[in-house]
Amino acid sequence: MKIKTSICSLLALCGCLCFTSCSDELESGAPQNLSIASFYPTIVMDGTEVEVNGTAMSRVTEVVFPGGITTTNFTVVDDRRLTVIAPTGVSETAEPLIVRAEGEEAQSRQSIREARPAFTQYNYTDNEGAVTGTEMTIQGSDLLLVEALTLSDNETEIIIPALEMSRKTTDAIRILIPMDCPVGEGIHVTLTFKNGTTMSLPDINVIEGTGGGSWVESEVTLYEGEPVEIGNWGSMQIANSLLTNLKEGDVIRVYISDVTSGAQGSLKCSADGWPALSPELEYFDLTDDEIAAGYYMRTFTADMITALGSNNLIISGQNYTVTRVTLFTTVWVEDGDEDQRDPITDATIMLNDFEDNGSHNSSWDGSWTTGVTLEFPTEANGNVYCRLAETIEGDIWLINCNHVDCGTVQNIENYAIKFDLMIEEGVTGASAATMQFVLADNWLWIGEGLFPESTDGKWITVSRNIADISDLTGELEIGTITNGMYGGNIPVGICIDNLRLDPIE
C-alpha cells in the first residue's frame, strides 16, 4: 500500500508547552495608539493585496512601502484591520511597513519587500520522474503569490488552481500530476501569480501512469497528552514538522474542557511578536455551540499557511483547557487503498450506531462503559463514530446499547456480525486486545486477533460468521436486550462504528 502524501510525521504526538507574558494575551479597553501587530504576506507584487492587523486602523490615512512608496489605495475593514493594494515600485530590499494617521506614524516589526520569483528545480515522488497520478514539487523562491499552475502542450491545457495544490510555500509548490495531463516530451509548465503575471518554467517530460487514486480525508492527531490550561501565562505549541503537508482547506480541531466565562481562542505563530495567523484569529470568543460540542475548529486559508511559514503553531487565548488537537486533511491514496468498509444495506440490522438520530445511539447509551473515555468525532460526510481516548488494561465494556428494539432475527446462523474499524497511524498492540461480542445477552468469545495490528489509519470492516463463533441457531429475539463489545488490553486510538448483523450472501 502506497500513500503518496507522507503523513507519518503528522502522527507523532509532539505538541509542546510554552509560556508567554500574560500582557500578550489580554485585550485592553483603553484608547489605542496607532500600531501594526502583523501583516501578510511579507512579499508583494504590483497590485497584490496585503492584510494589515493592528490598532486604530480606522485612523490611517496612508501606507508606506519599502523605497518610500506611499499609497492611499486601501480599505479599512474595522479598527483592527485594513487591506492595502501594493503599489508599483516597491523596493526588493526588505523594510518595515509604515502606516500614518493625522499626527501619528507606526511601523511594523516585520519587514516587507517586492517578490522576485525564481525557479530552482523539479522533484518527483516517482523514481521515473513526472508520472501522471503522482506528485511533483517545484522548488524555488518567492512562490507564495502563485495563483495557478498550467501544464500544456499544443492541444491540451490543464490548469491547477492554488486551492488544489498539495502544498504551497515561499520555496516550494507541490502538485498531483492529473491523470488527464498531456503526456510526452516538452510539456510546458507555467505559473500564474495573483496579479495576473506569468512565469514560464523549464519543460518537462510526462509519463502516463498505470493507475489512479483519490484524495481521502483523514483526522490526524497533532497533540494528545496531558491537558494544557490556556490563559494565565499558559499556551501550547504544535511543532512545524507536524504541519509540513498543510493545505488550504485543512481544518484544525482543538478539543476543549473546563471552559469558564469569557473564554477566547487564539491561533498564532512563533515568529517574533507571536503574530496571529489572520486578524480574526488573534482573539475569538468561544461560542455556546463550540463549548457544548467540546471543541472548536478553524479552516486554514492560503494566507494563514503563508503567515505560519516555517514557524510553530501557537494555540492560546484564555479560560479553557486543551485536551487534544487534530487536523482534518487529505492524503493521496492509490487505487485499491480507498475506504474498505462494507456497505450498509436494507438487510442490515444495526445494533450500535453513534449518530444522534434517536436510534442505536451508543454515544448516549453506554450505560455500562464506566471508566472508559470515549470520543465521538464526525467525518466530513456527517458520520459519527466512536474513538477510544485512553488505553484499557483490564476487562471492561467498550460499547453497549440496550434501549433500541432490534426485533427478532430468523436463522441467526446465516448472519455475520460486523463492525467498522479504524486504527490510527502509530497505534501498537491492537491485535493483542482480548475481545468478545455481546449479542442479545449472548457472550461470543473471540479473544486476541479480532483487531488487526494496524489498518494504516483507514477504515475496514471486521466480520465474523455467527456460526463460527457460537452455537446460536434458529430464531433469536434481540428486542431491547444488550448488544455491544467487551474486552481488555485495548490501546488508545481504536475507532469503531456500525456494530451490525448482515445476512451471509
Task: Chunk the chain into consecutive blocks of 10 residues (it has 505) and report each block's average pLDDT, rounded to whole numbers.
Answer: 36 39 43 85 93 93 97 94 95 96 92 95 84 90 93 93 79 88 94 96 90 62 87 86 84 92 94 92 91 89 90 94 87 57 83 61 49 80 83 83 79 94 90 90 87 86 88 89 88 92 88
Q: State which residues form the domain around 150.
A: 118-213
| Of the residues 81, 114, 147, the one at which a domain ends | 114
Shared domain check, 329 and 249 = yes
Does 324 reside within a domain?
Answer: yes
pTM of the model: 0.44
Helix (H) or strand (E) holding 137: strand 135-141
Q: Is 290 helix (H, G, I), strand (E, B) or coil?
A: helix
Say how far apart CA 367 and CA 302 lie, in whole Å.
45
- How many CB atoms lie under 10 A from the CB of residue 195? 16
Shared domain check, 129 and 98 = no
| Of the residues 114, 139, 164, the one at which a domain ends | 114
CATH number for the domain harbouring residue 172:
2.70.50.70
Does 26 reside within a domain?
Answer: no
Say how far apart CA 392 and CA 254 lie, in whole Å.
24
Does 323 reside within a domain?
Answer: yes
Shared domain check, 469 and 353 = yes
Does 47 reside within a domain?
Answer: yes
Q: Please name the amino acid found at residue 334.
A: E
Does 1 reside within a domain?
Answer: no
Non-local CB neighbours of 353 within 8 Å, separated by 6+ positions: 359, 360, 361, 362, 497, 498, 499
CATH number for the domain harbouring residue 382:
2.60.120.430
What is the structure's pLDDT at 278?
A: 93
Say how far apart CA 43 and CA 280 lie, in whole Å.
21
* Grid coordinates given for 343: 456497505
What is the structure's pLDDT at 378?
A: 82
Shared domain check, 128 and 110 = no
CATH number for the domain harbouring residue 329:
2.60.120
What is the structure's pLDDT at 226?
A: 85
What is the number of domains present in the chain?
Answer: 4
Shared domain check, 243 and 130 = no
Shared domain check, 188 and 227 = no
